Structure 1
Amino acid sequence: MEKKILFPQAGGFLHGGDYNPEQWLDRPDILKEDVRMMKKAGVNCVTLGVFSWSVYEPAEGEFHFEWLEKIMDHLYENGIFTILATPSGARPAWLDEAYPEAMRVSRQGMRNHHGVRHNHCMSSPEYRKKTADMDRRLAERFGSHPGLLMYHISNELGGECFCPLCTARFQSYLAEKFDHDIEKLNQAWWTTFWSHRYSSFSQVEPPFANGEGSIMGLNLEWKRFTTWNMTDFLKEEIRALREITPSVPVTTNFMMLYNGLDYRKMARELDMISWDSYPRFHNDEETLFETMTENAFHHTVMRSMKKEKPFMLMESAPGLVNWHPFNKVKRPGVHKLFCLQTAACGSDTVQYFQWRKGRGSFEQYHGAVVDHLGTDDTRIFRETAQVGELLKKIAPAAGTCVRARAALLFDWDNRWAIQDVKALAETTKCYEKTCISIWKEFLKMGVEMDVVPSDDDFSSYDVIVAPMLYLLQPGTASCLKQFVERGGQLLATYFTGYVDDNTLCFMGGFPGNGLSELFGIISEEIDTLYPSDRNHIRFGNGWEDWEVRDYAEILRLTDAEVLGRYTDDFYQGGAALTRKRYGKGNAYYVAARCCPGQMRPLFEQMLTQAGIPVKQLPEGVEYHVRTGDEGAYEFYLNYGTAPACVQEVYGQDMLTGSEVSGTLTLEGYGAAVVRK
């Protein structure tokens, strides 16, 4: 497994973050001190220019890049590289005054005023022209700078626009999608219902707040269009840069499971995947282990978009943030664990927002490496410097990847369709929570599990779990059949295969499109349970009963084997967990929502059948493996305050230099990176 080091010139992991020297151009003493402290903290890279447009171009056509050149030169002379952002995430006031079409229109149909961020219309020709011109000028001036590592396109792209330009684009997009045949759209969206048929594409409006919102196909297609339009805007920025500097890689920073854009579509245009991680540390509803392992899930979503190379953590908070409901400070030792988890999950970078706190405006109290105190003797600075040293110790792991034989299917289209469907219950659909909780159970068993879309290539996996796969993409059913037929272990759940990619229900029973044949069952009804309702699944093989909450399907068997049956209600004795042998593999179907912890015997059975080992881990310990041509690097992270012992560990702990021969002891909040 060949290494894919992202930035060989940096000699391992990148450590740094967003730096805003344009806020301090009147303080050369601070700029000089920043570089000294960066070197002390082990910072080898910063991101510049994210929100610099009003300094680059204070008036239309008046450009100032000399300050940036001085900063980049000085950083490079001190061994600090630059990721250069394009400034399209926030516009200067003069631009909106001169080109009001650049400002978005809300779902209510109102034009926004100038302000905040991400307030641009993706369709605006003038804004696209201005952005491309700025990008070309940056590429011409800095594209050959020896300190430049890559371009960072805009910042946390998001939002939607309902202006006349976007409406017209949407109509053209639909005409192309449906072959300029409005009857194909009417059939796909079932518009005869409520007499909503269209006679031309010009009649189709976006789902305005006071307009059409009852056509599920329209609502879903608008979200797809918004992704398409934002991706087109992204591609135009990339195209402008590559006209000048075709060999400089590009990325943009994603945001967790952001609901507004299908990141997997955008990822195709990027050389590297990067994202911004801001967990709600030390909240009062879950343990640190639960907080951190959910963060590991989000790392995995990003990693799985380009599995052949490491990803990048573009932003995180070395201390606290200023926009959570409760902005709690990271406790001592947690920052180290957070950063090592980032590396463990496959990132080659640990970067922060931000290096130095700004004196005023919206993020003046957002955490930073350097506080308003302005010194290098704070706890947060010391912990950041400690991370810099740790990243140097594990530098040989840079460029290696996480290789998973198990996968969880998670689709943005499916997510949107479930959110919109008028079925089940309003508050307990919980698609994301369901996926994360199942994924976490595999993590507790020490099993790496990619998070991939349902139209992905399944050939490298031996176990697949598909929770609530309500919407089936074209080809998904046949791919799942092929997966099981060749020997794969597949688990699907209730609410699988109800609709096609236009949200039309399949005829002939659920799960549709041939999946009933694969699983050997048909779901006749789905019962929605009140929060106070309970049922159970009982087994004849010695497993403990599983408690059923929220949803329970009533199955008709065709040729599946029953492993578990309901214990209560009018469907008492009915099949609740089934298995069908299909080709060389097994297709399991669980018809009800159960706690993944209770389902662990089933998961272990599937893993055993696939030949994937389960690792015995103490409670509160997270485990990951990165592999490359030099061997494997095992990461162990203890999120508990008490010591924990892991058995069957052999190799050298790169953090301490000590040999581990069987038992690895982790102190409270301790970590180890064992090179095998």
Structure 2
Amino acid sequence: AERYAHHPAVIGWHISNEYGGECHCELCQNKFREWLLAKYKTLDSLNHAWWTSFWSHTYTDWDEIESPAPHGEDAVHGLNLDWKRFVTDQTVDFCRHEIAHVRSFNPDLPVTTNFMGTYAGLNYWKFVDLLDVISWDSYPAWHNSRQEDSRLGADIAFVHDINRSLKGGRPFMLMESTPSMTNWQDVSKLKRPGMHELSSLQAVAHGSDTVQYFQWRKSRGSSEKFHGAVVDHEGSEHTRVFQEVKKLGEKLEKLEDVAGTTVEPETAIIFDWENRWALEDAQGPRNIGMHYERTAKSFYEPFWREGVPVDVIHTEADFSRYKLLVAPMLYMLKEGTAERIEQFVQNGGTFVATYWSGIVNENDLVFQGGFPGGLRKTLGIWSEEIDALHDGQKNTIVMDADNRLGLSGSYEASELCDLIHLEGAEALAVYGEDFYAGRPALTVNLLGDGKAYYIASRNEAAFQEAFISRLIEECGIAKVLDTELPKGVTAQLRTDGRHDYIFVMNFTAENRSVSLPEEAFTDVLKGTRKKGALKLPPYGTSILRRSHKA
């Protein structure tokens, strides 16, 4: 730090690399006990919060407390949850000390550390106040046999939007990516022509102000000697990959005006790390997979396909800036969260909750008096039981005739079916099969100036697409382009308040055509006016500019 702090080529500090892991040594055990003492003050308070009387786990001395076994499960779920919180706090503290040291040599340089997508081991929201800019490492497994590129594109967009949302919409950095392939995934698939540029510009479209690589030159030996790089072992610029990087660099130079711009979503999806920890440790109702992350992404994808920008936030964020708030599987309701959601709806917002919401408090203690806990009034329902289905078992939900959303027909349900009672809400669909056939499966509750929807079952993608599409229309949420986008094509936006920069991206291996609305567009890269049909080659991207639409 002393040597490089004032070097003209150094523009910031990158602290550590991909924080992760945890320590169970005696020093950390003692620190954990200190952390718990500061939080709970007394053993009685801790024993109540962790419900340790179950299976005779009651603690009578602070020294009896140990971290959960690194490779096992602990029956005390409050212990598991607090240990994960402690590991995050320890890592944040370590990061704080590193930052303090490098800043002692030059306090003017900004600081970042690189995150790893939705890495489960750390709550990234706890790092936000320490870091000047957010960065992350993105390595999608494009062109794989398990997932089409457009669906993977939506998954990666979800993570880009998390990283943009972490600092309230400020631009982030794509710290690591590969221009070709990885060496550590199951199959080291090459990126097809166009995909390197598309995946790089996708990051920019969702808020990144950088495109960076690991690595510049391939290592001659050791672990990542076959990991992709700008300069191959051949050592010259005469390679396909080098020329694609060069071409991308030329385009990025023309996007200088995009740097520093932001996104202004009217929709947010809650993806909360602590909720995830508790939900995945709950031991029921479906231990072969509750799929919290996958569920959150399944609600995100329809917005992405329709070209609707989305923030991905946690439960402590400000809800008031959005028209629509979606909270898939909000199992844990921290103190005050239900009240803020109710106020959001009362003030005219639209809220969407799903099965397995409002089950426990921040200590993972089940709410007494009926589910979904503090959301019961907002949603206007009481959840009595939840049925877990084995893989392959199905049910259906059947839309009521003349329901207020205008949806029709039936949709397949699987894995989880919540058995609910109406307490002021209106049923929009009912179950079609099993002993609970005819009971509500989709509801809406009118509260104040807003609405609260409850989706009682895990439904097929076609339901999500139809449901979200109607909500976009009902809430008056603006699409980036007021036109129908072909399958596999999305449109994302960044704005400086004067101009909108629109990234139209084709995540398929086929030619696509987009009918542009009657607006004045300029092709940013070509400097020409654009109207009519926008032609996109396989994995192609077009960047348009228009006057900002308030």
Fold shared, TM-score > 0.5 on shorter chain: yes
Q: Which aligned pairs between 1:164-175 and structure 2 lie closer than 5 A?
A: 164-175=26-37
Residue aligning to 2:146: 285
CA contact (8 A) 1:301 1:451 kept: yes
Residue aligning to 1:152: 14
CA contact (8 A) 1:554 1:591 kept: yes
State TM-score, norm by structure 1: 0.78
The reply to whether residue 519 of structure 1 matches residue 379 of structure 2 is: yes
Please give the per-residue CA displacement for 1:112-161, whole angstroms capped at 9, x wherever unaligned. xxxxxxxxxxxxxxxxxxxxxxxxxx1x3222222221000011110000
Residue aligning to 1:176: 38
Residue aligning to 2:23: 161
CA contact (8 A) 2:306 2:490 kept: no
**Aligned-partner Cα distance in 1 for 2:488–2:71:** 49
The reply to whether residue 455 of structure 1 matches residue 316 of structure 2 is: yes
Q: Offset at 1:424?
A: 1.6
Indicate the larger mover: 281-290 or 518-527.
281-290
Residue aligning to 2:295: 434
After TM superposition, which residue ranges in structure 1, 4 or more long, deviate above 4 angstroms? 209-212
- In the alignment, which of 498, 503, 512 is matched to residue 635 of structure 1? 503
Q: Residues 534 and 647 from structure 1, CA distance in 2 versus in 1: closer, same or farther, beyond 3 angstroms?
A: same
Q: Offset at 1:668?
A: 2.3
Residue aligning to 1:654: 524
Q: Which aligned pairs between 1:185-584 and structure 2 lie closer than 5 A?
A: 185-209=46-70, 213-512=74-373, 514-539=374-399, 540-541=401-402, 542-584=407-449
CA contact (8 A) 1:206 1:212 kept: no
Read off the aligned partner of 2:316 and give its amino acid letter: D
- In the alignment, which of 490, 493, 500 is matched to residue 625 of structure 1? 493
CA contact (8 A) 1:546 1:599 kept: no
**Aligned-partner Cα distance in 2 for 1:641–1:328:** 15
Structure 2 counterpart SS, 1:349: strand
Aligned length in residues = 536
Read off the aligned partner of 2:28 and give its amino acid letter: C
Q: Offset at 1:640?
A: 2.1
Structure 1 counterpart SS, 2:48: helix
**Aligned-partner Cα distance in 2 for 1:595–1:657:** 43
Q: Residues 210 and 659 from structure 1, CA distance in 2 versus in 1: closer, same or farther, beyond 3 angstroms?
A: closer
Q: Residues 397 and 365 from structure 1, CA distance in 2 versus in 1: closer, same or farther, beyond 3 angstroms?
A: same
Q: Offset at 1:210?
A: 7.5
Q: Which of structures 1 and 2 has the bigger CA Rg?
A: 1
State TM-score, norm by structure 2: 0.95
Residue aligning to 2:542: 672
Q: Offset at 1:429?
A: 0.7
Structure 2 counterpart SS, 1:632: strand
- In the alignment, which of 604, 607, 628 is matched to residue 469 of structure 2? 604
Please give the per-residue CA displacement for 1:75-111, whole angstroms capped at 9, x wherever unaligned. xxxxxxxxxxxxxxxxxxxxxxxxxxxxxxxxxxxxx
**Aligned-partner Cα distance in 1 for 2:98–2:226:** 32
Q: Offset at 1:530?
A: 1.2
**Aligned-partner Cα distance in 2 for 1:171–1:272:** 32
CA contact (8 A) 1:303 1:311 kept: yes
Q: Offset at 1:646?
A: 1.5
Please give the per-residue CA displacement for 1:215-251, whole angstroms capped at 9, x wherever unaligned. 0000011000000000000000111122221111100
Read off the aligned partner of 1:574 and give its amino acid letter: R
**Aligned-partner Cα distance in 2 for 1:632–1:664:** 17
CA contact (8 A) 2:503 2:541 kept: yes
Read off the aligned partner of 1:434 and give its amino acid letter: T
Q: Offset at 1:626?
A: 0.2
Unaligned regions of 5+ residues in structure 2, if any?
Answer: none
Please give the per-residue CA displacement for 1:450-507, whole angstroms capped at 9, x wherever unaligned. 1100111111111011100001111110110011111111110000010000000000
CA contact (8 A) 1:489 1:609 kept: no
**Aligned-partner Cα distance in 1 for 2:70–2:192:** 43
**Aligned-partner Cα distance in 2 for 1:501–1:641:** 46
**Aligned-partner Cα distance in 2 for 1:427–1:346:** 36
Read off the aligned partner of 1:173 and give its amino acid letter: W
Unaligned regions of 5+ residues in structure 1, if any?
Answer: 1-137
Please give the per-residue CA displacement for 1:61-83, whole angstroms capped at 9, x wherever unaligned. xxxxxxxxxxxxxxxxxxxxxxx
CA contact (8 A) 2:411 2:462 kept: no
CA RMSD of aligned residues (A): 1.3
Residue aligning to 1:33: none
- In the alignment, which of 453, 474, 480 is matched to residue 588 of structure 1? 453
**Aligned-partner Cα distance in 2 for 1:596–1:265:** 33
CA contact (8 A) 1:227 1:265 kept: yes
CA contact (8 A) 1:311 1:348 kept: yes
Structure 2 counterpart SS, 1:597: helix
Residue aligning to 1:42: none
Q: Offset at 1:212?
A: 7.0
